[in-house]
Chain A
Amino acid sequence: MRKEVVDGLFPAIAGTLLLILTSIIWAIPIGVASGIYLAEYCNLKWKPVFNFLLDLLAGIPSILVGLFGFAVSVFLHKHLSEHIYPCFLISTLALACLVLPYIIRTTEQSLVDLPFFVKTTGLALGASRLQNILLILIPYNLSRIISGIILAIGRCAEDTAVIMLTGVVAMAGIPNSLLSQYEALPFYIFYISSDYNSQEELMKGFGACIILLSICVFLFTLSHLLKRKAAIRFAIHTLILPERKVMFRQNPNIETRNKFEYQMTK
């Protein structure tokens, strides 16, 4: 029984899911906290610096993030312990670095885009700054933040360049510790495409493609639906003010209106 399972795609699927789960566990707290800091606390002196560095991180090719992970593991191998090789842990950390900017940007933007009255009502009622953020602003925009996180999960699932340099292998079975090597779907597809011996293996490659594609499509659709829900809710809530009602009549496109709103709050 066990042998049959090991021979199939199961280790790759399990590896991908574990990879996504672990990287997102690293990335969510740091990403959301940084987004909150940039939207609510950061002063104008430091904001450009943070923005520039995060833009750069978002623009860096994913292979460089992989190379960074690889370099870190080489560095640790030399200076800390002989037992550290590129492994599952390094991969998840590198993937977390890759998707951090997405989470930070959506969190920050969703907080910045909030209408002025939502931002100030809690404060006027005596809530402290932290209470205002955690109890009012974030729940108000939760679906948009989650849509960003889901998009980040999708990036984790599809990325091949990062894991290729940080410890994924073609045959490893299910990872049994953080320091072991593992399999993943995108790498399996890449491996099959370059080195298949039989028609059966090729069919397995197409199977892996379909599974990966359906994971990504599912995540993408979910993220889109949540974003749409947030936009509709946003539109309904901001319709309360009369001058906004006029604006809406002139320009019923929700996305353009959001931009306008953003400019007004700036």
Chain B
Amino acid sequence: MKPFIEKFAEKGFLFSAILSASITISILSFMLFFSLPLFKGGEVAEFFTFGWNPYEGRFGILPMMAGTGIIAFLALFIATPFGIGCSALISVFPKQSFGIFLRKAVEFMTGIPTVIHGFVAIFLLVPFIREIFEKGTGICVLSASIMLAFLILPTIVLFLSDAFNAVPKSYLDAADSLGATPVQKLIYVIIPSTWKGIISGLVLAAGRAVGDTLISLMIAGNALQIPRGLDDAARTLTAHIALIIASDYESPEFKSIFICGLILFFFTTLIVLFLRLLGHFKILRDR
């Protein structure tokens, strides 16, 4: 017979675990609850069109999905080479104080608030971009992607340098004894043996890039169009959610943000499932 307090504590622990796990489920169910009328009415197909014009009754969210995809892809495209370079400098090349300093600096970057990234970008990056393109305001897809690349760089670097550190020492010793230079070691030994880790790190970073709100809200321009060039403005799904503040809770605009929410939710689920497929459980530990 266990004492009462033991049983009580165990129940309490169980209850809080169930409570925290049920938050995820309730987020999903609230999204479904608010977008359910649309599914019932068969108006869902209408949302996956290219036009958004509330006054004409058109609520296509495809431009926002395209904007999200383009900005996130560009950010990943910019950040990947830098990420691989930094993590190689940290983990592969002979340990120097510079590598340690770089890792500390990158860890420090994770602590900087997103809104400050955006604020600084408006006053430093945007005028620079404006001068390069020589037209427009400088608030465009390119600025948002560059800033987003900055934001996801720490995720990539920390993840990859951990992955590079986990390469079995015997592999490295074998490469060393065959006379490989550090660069050859990186290209022929470390990258092939950690491709799973590299892909997981990039997927994780893609998740962050898609989920970020402030950068795209502040410096992507929020225009309702599919961007045709790097100097065009665009709107992402997250910024769309933040921008629509409809007072009328029954309006289609209001309901469309829950469709956006559902899309983001399923995207997150896909990322989590994909990372599990590659053998990464407990994602937070890897961040």
Task: Name A residues whose Cβ lies closer than 8 Å to a Cβ of B.
Answer: 29-31, 33-34, 36-38, 40-42, 49-65, 67-68, 71-72, 74-75, 78, 97, 100-102, 104-105, 109, 128-130, 154, 157-158, 160-161, 164-165, 186, 189-190, 192-194, 205, 209, 212-213, 216-217, 219-220, 224, 253, 256
A190-B27 in contact given A33-B12, A212-B116 (Cβ < 8 Å): no
Q: Which chain A positions have C-beta within 8 A of B22?
A: 53
- Give min CB distance, B263 to chain A, whole Å: 10
B102 close to chain A: CB less than 8 A: no
A179 to B118, CA, bound (A): 30
Chain B residue at smallest Cβ distance from A186: B115
Closest 5 CB pairs of A and B: A61-B211, A158-B113, A220-B111, A37-B13, A33-B16
A249 to B34, CA, bound (A): 59
- Give min CB distance, B12 to chain A, whole Å: 6
Interchain CB contact under 8 A, B24 and A56 = yes
B264 close to chain A: CB less than 8 A: yes
Q: Which chain B positions have C-beta within 8 A of A60?
A: 24, 27, 211, 264-265, 268
Interchain CB contact under 8 A, A100 and B23 = yes
Chain A residue at smallest Cβ distance from B107: A224
A105-B271 in contact given A71-B30, A75-B30, A216-B111 (Cβ < 8 Å): no
A209 to B121, CA, bound (A): 13
Q: List 16 A-B contacts (CB under 8 A).
A: A33-B12, A36-B13, A37-B14, A50-B21, A53-B21, A57-B24, A58-B283, A58-B284, A62-B211, A67-B261, A68-B27, A130-B5, A130-B10, A213-B112, A216-B111, A256-B166
A30 to B31, CA, bound (A): 24
Chain B residue at smallest Cβ distance from A48: B281
Interchain CB contact under 8 A, B213 and A68 = no
Chain A residue at smallest Cβ distance from B275: A55
Interchain CB contact under 8 A, A33 and B13 = yes
Chain A residue at smallest Cβ distance from B118: A193
- Give min CB distance, B20 to chain A, whole Å: 5
Number of residues from B at the complex interface, CB < 8 A: 67
Task: Name B residues whose Cβ lies closer than 8 Å to a Cβ of A.
Answer: 2-3, 5-6, 9-10, 12-17, 19-27, 30-31, 33-34, 107-108, 110-116, 118-120, 122, 165-166, 207, 210-214, 217-218, 238, 241-242, 249, 257-258, 261, 264-265, 268-269, 271-272, 276, 281-285
The total of interchain contacts (Cβ-Cβ below 8 angstroms) comes to: 195
Q: Which chain B positions have C-beta within 8 A of A253?
A: 165
Interchain CB contact under 8 A, B238 and A161 = yes
Interchain CB contact under 8 A, A63 and B238 = yes
Q: Which chain B positions have C-beta within 8 A of A154?
A: 111
Interchain CB contact under 8 A, B241 and A67 = yes
Which of A41, A61, A209 has most chain B Cβ within 10 Å?
A: A61
Q: Which chain A positions have C-beta within 8 A of B276?
A: 52, 55
A92 to B97, CA, bound (A): 42
Interchain CB contact under 8 A, A161 and B20 = no
A129 to B272, CA, bound (A): 33
Q: Which chain B positions have C-beta within 8 A of A165?
A: 241-242
A160-B213 in contact given A53-B25, A105-B285, A129-B6 (Cβ < 8 Å): yes
Chain A residue at smallest Cβ distance from B287: A58
Q: Which chain A positions have C-beta within 8 A of B211?
A: 59-64
Interchain CB contact under 8 A, B210 and A68 = no
A105-B282 in contact given A62-B213, A74-B249, A193-B118 (Cβ < 8 Å): yes
Which of A29, A67, A220 has most chain B Cβ within 10 Å?
A: A67
Interchain CB contact under 8 A, A130 and B6 = yes
- Give min CB distance, B166 to chain A, whole Å: 8
Chain B residue at smallest Cβ distance from A101: B284
Which of A65, A160, A189, A194 has most chain B Cβ within 10 Å?
A: A160
Q: Which of B20, B120, B218 is within 8 Å of A34, CB to CB?
A: B20
